[in-house]
Every structure is written in structure tokens, then in C-alpha cells.
Amino acid sequence: MSGEVEPELTGFVLLYKPVGPGSQTLLRGVKRLVHTRRVGHAGTLDPFASGLLPVAIGKATRLVDFIHSFPKTYEATLRFGIATDTEDLEGRITATDAIPLLTTAAVEAALARYLGEQQQQPPRYSAIRTRGKRSYERARSGDPLEPSPRTIRIHALRLLALDGESLRFEVQCSSGTYIRSLGRDIAMSLQTVGHLTALVRTAIGPLRLHQALTPDELESHAATLGIHALILPADVVLQDLHAVVLNAEECALLRNGSLIAGDLAVPAGTKVRGYDAAGELLGLLRRVESGLAPHLLLK
């Protein structure tokens, strides 16, 4: 029937961000294809980095903050002997140092020291706000003020390859971890300096790089299949959570902010995903002592 308004697209597109363009550049390309302003990504990648960039569309943008709680996995290449002001290959060289003879055992011992919760000093060239101003803006203007250390967690850290002057490693870490700074610190613990020459994000929570489309693939597939066929359902990021199906009365109560009774075998505080009787995702619910409470609803 002409004049009917099409329902807003909702879900995720998983993009492979190549080296070069910024995350916002790719976001603009998705906005053009989906014809909605409600588009956001779940984790910026620096221009020199590549890898998985989940893009939320429509009501799924409400889940972006939840995705930020997921652990992230990266593969990084650390070049020893040269330090830069940005802690990556795009920066200005600030120091050089000799590279000691590095054995696999010595490197693995150094990596093991960074497992667990710790304080990390972020790079000066970062988007962190310090007294209302981005840290990279201060660095560019010569302001010596550095961002404050932040608490991070390294869940896993594994040596992938080692040669005379570089190290390739895989890290799984909490959101907010700067892999550039981790590389800097690893080099220092090995009695030298260093900077990252490559960084690839391979996973965010349950999402994997092999699921992602390149920008060119997204464009071509959208032209032949239609953009609808490329959008994953919003619950693709919630598959690790317990699922509950709710009746119409329960859905109405939750939408109004009320609790509903429920006897789930999950601890209080646990997040679960709720669906209506038609199988549509209602959103995230939180287990409380007396049942279930709305946490983050999409509809």
C-alpha cells in the first residue's frame, strides 16, 4: 500500500576495516546504504589498525554500550628498538635503543607479567578527554599534560612469532585497553623501546573477523542482494546470554518499567535476553531476587 512507512532497519553489519580510513569514514558509508541516521560502531580502530568493526543500525544502537563490556581480541606486531610519540608506525621517532638478544622464554615470561588487572598509562595521542580537551589535541599543541592511568584487564596474552627485531602477539583484553601502550610497556620490560607496526582486531565478544565484510563487499552485495540481507539480527551479540520468552502481559509490564515474576536458574544481577511470543527481541533483562527487571529494551 503506497504511503506506508517501512519499519526502521535494526541489527548489525560486521565490517572489516582496512588500514587507512578511520572508523567514522566507514560509518558514513553504512549510513548511506541503510538510509537512517541511527548508526553507530562498537569500538574505534585507529587508521593504522584493521579488523572487525561492528556497526549497529536502528534500535540496535542501544546495545552499543553493552558491547563495550565484551572482551576484545587483537593480533599486534611490535617493532623493537624504536619509540614514537604515537606509539605506532605513524608517529615521530622519539628514541632509539639497542635490542637485546631475545629468547622465546624471556619474551613469554615478560608477557606473563601483564596478565590480569592492572593500571595502564594511555598514550598521549588518544581520544581520552583530560580537563575537557582530547589528549591528542593537547599533544599536538605541545601541552605536556598526560591522560590519567586507567584500570584494564588482560585476559590472555600469547606469543605468535619472534624474530631479531619484532614480536607478534595475540591479546584478549578489556574494553579501554590501548594495545599501543601495551606494546610500549612490553618493550620496556625487555630492556628496550618499541612501537606497533600492525594491529588487527579479530574478535569482540562472540563476534569474529571471519564474519565481516569489506567495504567493497558491502557495497556490491547490497546492490545485488539488498541491504536487508546483510544485516544480522540484533541478538547476534547476545548469544552467550540465557533466553526467556515472555507473554504479552509480561512484555507490557517490562515496557512500563515494572518487574515480572520469574524463577530462572541464574544468579541475581545476571543479564538475560527477552523475546515476545513472536520471537522478536524485546531487549536485555536483569535477574533480581523477585524475578526480572527491564535493563535495556529495544521495543
Query: Given a cut of 50, is residue 5 above it in pLDDT?
Result: no
Average pLDDT of the segment spanning 229-256: 93
CA-to-CA separations, 11 to 27, 60, 62, 219, in angstroms, rounded: 14, 5, 10, 17
Contact 171, 183 (CB under 8 A): no
Query: Given a cut of 80, is residue 283 above it in pLDDT?
Result: yes
Query: Given a cut of 70, is residue 3 above it in pLDDT?
Result: no
Average pLDDT of the segment spanning 243-266: 90
pLDDT band at 262 (very low <50, low <70, confident <90, very high): confident
Query: Given a cut of 60, is residue 199 above it in pLDDT?
Result: yes
Residue 160 pairs with which residues in a beta bridge? none
What residues have CB less than 8 Å from 203, skipping those under 6 apart? 52, 72, 73, 172, 209
Query: Which carries the bigger pLDDT value, residue 266 or residue 260?
Result: 260
Mind telling me the catalytic residues?
Answer: 46
Query: Given a cut of 80, is residue 12 above it in pLDDT?
Result: yes
pLDDT of residue 265: 77
Query: Given a cut of 80, is residue 115 above it in pLDDT?
Result: yes
pLDDT of residue 267: 85
Average pLDDT of the segment spanning 194-220: 96
Domains, the chain, with CATH or none? 11-69+207-236 (3.30.2350.10), 72-204 (3.30.2350.10), 241-297 (2.30.130.10)
pLDDT band at 266 (very low <50, low <70, confident <90, very high): confident
Name the nearest CA neighbour of 297 among 238, 229, 228.
238
User: Cell numbers 593500571 label which residue?
Assistant: 119
Contact 174, 43 (CB under 8 A): no
In tens, the pLDDT along 54-82 reads 999 999 999 999 999 999 999 999 999 99
pLDDT of residue 126: 73
pLDDT band at 36 (very low <50, low <70, confident <90, very high): confident
Average pLDDT of the segment spanning 217-236: 93
pLDDT of residue 254: 94
pTM, rounded to two decimals: 0.90
pLDDT of residue 2: 47
135-163 residues labelled b (16+ CB within 10 A) or e (exposed): bbebbeeeeeebbeebebbbeebeeeebe
Residue 156 pairs with which residues in a beta bridge? 172
> What gap in Å lies between CA 177 and CA 48, rounded to an integer?
17
In tens, the pLDDT along 270-281 reads 999 999 999 999
Query: Given a cut of 90, is residue 94 above it in pLDDT?
Result: yes
pLDDT of residue 144: 74
